[in-house]
Amino acid sequence: MGFPEFSGVCKVTPFTTKVRTVPLISQGSYLTNIRLELTIQTYLIVLGAIIVIFLAGLWYFVPLLSGLPWIPAKTKRIHRALELSALIPGEKLYDLGAGDGRVLIVAARDYGAIAIGIEISPVPE
């Protein structure tokens, strides 16, 4: 049983600029010669998606490569953190990424701790 030759034409919509002909059956083989013509709108959508993905990647990777910005801790938070640590006078406190030493100063002055700070950046930005 054979199939008749068929050639379909798609409708022209606001998002298409070309009419495409899709021969479904050609010379006895099924679904041959299917041709898809991309429109300008399709290219713009794909380009827009690529730009969005690129900008999202920049948003994520640039801070990782250049380092995160320095944000000083508030005194209230420093006191709360040191209260939770239950420091006793004479106990050593190491602060990695000490910044300008705010935590060290509060720990030594208010809690009597021996405060040691480690910072790789000589001057906070």
User: pLDDT tens-digit profile of 52-99?
Assistant: 999 888 877 777 676 667 788 899 999 999 999 999 999 999 999 888
Strands 25-26 and 29-30: antiparallel
The reported pLDDT for the residue numbered 62 is 73
- To the question of pTM greater than 0.75 for the whole model, the response is no
The reported pLDDT for the residue numbered 17 is 53
**Percent of the chain at pLDDT above 70?**
61
Q: CB-based contacts of 70: which residues, under 8 Å, 6+ apart?
A: 99, 121, 124, 125
- Give the number of residues written for the chain: 125
